[in-house]
Amino acid sequence: MVPIAWTLAFWLRFNLGWLPPDFYNSGVYSLWIIIPVQLMAFVVFGLYRGVWRYASLPDLLRVLKAVAMGAVVSMVLLFMFTRAAGIPRSVPVIYVLLLILLLSGPRMIYRWLKDHHMYISPGQRVLIVGAGKAGEMLARDILRNQRKNYQLIAFVDDNSRRLGRDIQGIPVSGNSNDIPALTRKLDIDIIMLAMPSATSSETRRVVEICEKSGVPFRSVPQLGDLMSGRVQINELREVSIEDLLGREPIALDWSGIRRKLADKTILVTGGGGSIGSELCRQLARLRPSRLVILDNSEFNLYRIEMELLEAHPELEMQCHLGDVTDRPGVIEIFQRHHPDVVFHAAAYKHVPMLEAQIRQAMRNNILGTRNVAEAADKFGTSEFVLVSTDKAVNPANIMGASKRVAEIFCQNLDAHSKTRFITVRFGNVLGSAGSVIPLFRKQISEGGPVTVTDPRMERYFMTIPEASQLIMQTAILGKGGEIFVLDMGEPVKISYLAEQMILLSGKIPGNDINIEYIGLRPGEKLYEELFHEKEQLETTTHEKVLLARHRKVEWEVLNRVMEDIAVACELVDVKSLQHLLRTLVPEHDQNAHISKSGKQVDNVVYLNN
């Protein structure tokens, strides 16, 4: 292309006529300099590394740089050797323009020849929601992949500046409100949501519009998964309920968390459960000196062990099959590892089941917590983080009341220990074991009905990774004795949750799958609370974490009641356990302050009430 461009430049300079002999000879001899110099420029700027099939704007920029550099150096050398005699001043300018055209033109023509079939391929007619970078990448991948049986028809986007524009040859035909009309007008077979960074409220709005269109819709992966490299933009998936109920990504003080937890020995109790296993995944990325995992489920412990060994083969990890109620076993683990930080996530949490299992609830959630907390105090653990629940606030059930006692013990032990005891409290976790979402999925797969306790019931929801990350954040915020309350956003009606899960499965509520309201189960409340009215709520340095000042209890009285609980558990004395639970948590079951005998139940004295 270099000699062709150089020759054409001379020819155009002389109006496509015959070149005078002197000019002809100068032009031919100068090629001995121009060709090697231009060749070196092409090598330096990587023109030979580009794949013509995927020629794009960066390739054009490389062509411009290589041609410009080669032309400048060539002219300088020609001037030094021959004073550029016999080379008209317009020729180098014409040469540069022609060479750019000759180098970039074939690349673009080749790409067009390879790609032109994409715009006429048959298949499902596709409407892409979102004409930003994700939408453009999705369109490009689909168009290039001949195996995909898709035909891109149009984009929609809520950015008015994009309306009427073309992206990859596909028009932006409207905004998200036009989806139902465009679906009918353009005979769309499938809608693809290319909004990986959209908030849950934005996703909910678009999904509700897509549901009105009556055609199936799919979504690109979320932004975090794309950025991590775990998935590609063209790996479409069904819209999940987590997309609709999840919230904006949280910003963590990762540098502070890493400084606090890296190179430390960390113990996670209940490390095979929903929250505990995610905590282990997050902690493993921080490179602790040792990660110790305790769980009483053999299968859960094996599963998290295999997962972490595969993902972090360099991690020093010790997995212990055991129970937090086994005091000698807990002490042996602390003696062997001397953990610097403890995350206590082991607990029984199934509300209706524990209503009839008060001994197991109190033995595990109260005495198990005491065993781990006292071992942390005895062996000099720096921080102890208790994972609690919103059900511990004004508890109407055994599970919540038992967790409230665990909170009380840890908060008050803090004043008598060098270990910093921190409590973190949050609501329901999306997809956790025993939660409502797996139950609804099972009921929908079986054809229904989906059972909801009450149409008014509301719950707070949070994703498992978000809850686990905020738990770690509290480890660096806490100074000891605090209750950290995670900002759970707005509560969600369980009836809305059921309706959306049915719709996302491609069914119609009340038509394909019924929703049945079965009434409140034992221990359930219509609305959950995140803090007690007597807990002074304060802000912290993290916008998603609030601080509730705890209520102090007489330490001697508390220890005496804890011993009574241990004795009652050994004797399987259910009545005594009920009495002792109300003694420590007077707000539990407001209607149960009077015992069956009609006598007032004595309560622990709160010092700062």
CATH number listed for the domain at residues 121-239 = 3.40.50.720
Q: What are phi and psi of 129, to 5 degrees?
A: -95, 115
Structure tokens given for 4: 């062709």
What pLDDT does residue 403 have?
Answer: 93
305: which 2 tokens? 């062990």
- Residue 337 backbone dihedrals phi, psi, to 5 degrees: -110, -20
Q: Band the pLDDT of 530: cuts 50, 70, 90.
A: low
Q: Is the pLDDT of residue 494 over 70?
A: yes
Range with lowest mean pLDDT among 85-99, 238-252, 332-346: 238-252
Cα 17 from chain centroid? 69
Report whether pLDDT(534) > 60.
no
**pLDDT attached to residue 409:** 94
**In terms of Cα–Cα distance, which of 26, 28, 41 is closest to 74?**
41
Report the percent of the chain where pLDDT is more than 70: 79
For residue 89, what are the contacts with CB-CB under 8 A and spacing of at least 6? none
Strand positions, DSSP E, 4-60:
none
**pLDDT at position 153 over 60:** yes
pLDDT at 597: 33
Q: Is residue 347 predicted with pLDDT exceeding 90?
A: yes
Structure tokens at 485: 């309350």
- Hey, which of 5-9, 51-55, 406-410 has the most confident mean pLDDT? 406-410
- Cβ neighbourhood burial of 187 (10 Å; 0-12, 13-18, 19+): exposed
Taking CB atoms within 8 Å and a gap of at least 24, the contacts of 561-566 are 561/604, 562/366, 562/367, 562/370, 562/409, 565/362, 565/366, 565/367, 566/367
What values do phi and psi take at 445, rounded to 5? Answer: -65, -25
For residues 518-532, one letter each, b for 16 or more C-beta atoms within 10 angstroms of the residue's C-beta and e for the rest, the string is eeeeebbbeebbbbb
Tell me which of 596 and 472 has the higher pLDDT: 472
Q: Is residue 94's pLDDT more than 70?
A: yes
Q: Does the pLDDT value for residue 450 go beyond 70?
A: yes
Query: Across residues 396-422, what is the average pLDDT?
Result: 91
User: Is residue 53 over pLDDT 50?
Assistant: yes
Dihedral angle of Cα 530, 536, 539, 545, to the nearest 10 degrees: -30
Q: Is the pLDDT of residue 173 over 50?
A: yes
pLDDT at 266 over 90: yes
CATH number of 254-429+462-488+527-555: 3.40.50.720
Do the domains spanning 121-239 and 254-429+462-488+527-555 agree at the CATH topology level? Answer: yes
Q: Where are the domains of the chain?
A: 2-115, 121-239, 254-429+462-488+527-555
The mean predicted confidence, pLDDT, of the chain is 80
pLDDT number for residue 336: 95
- DSSP E strands: which ranges in 460-584? 461-463, 483-486, 492-493, 515-517, 537-539, 545-548
Q: Based on C-alpha coordinates, what's the Rg of the chain?
A: 34
Residue 512 pLDDT: 81
| pLDDT (0 to 100) of residue 601 | 37
Does residue 560 carry a pLDDT above 60? yes
Q: How far is CA 346 from the centre of its chain?
A: 24
What pLDDT is stored for residue 406 in this prediction? 94
377 or 255, which is more confident: 377
Lowest mean pLDDT among 215-224, 270-279, 316-325, 358-367: 215-224
Report yes or no on whether pTM surpasses 0.75.
no
pLDDT digits (tens, 9 = 90+) for 275-318: 899 899 989 988 899 999 999 999 999 999 999 999 999 999 99
- What Cα–Cα distance (Å) separates residue 352 from each residue in 16, 49, 130, 162, 396? 93, 65, 44, 53, 11
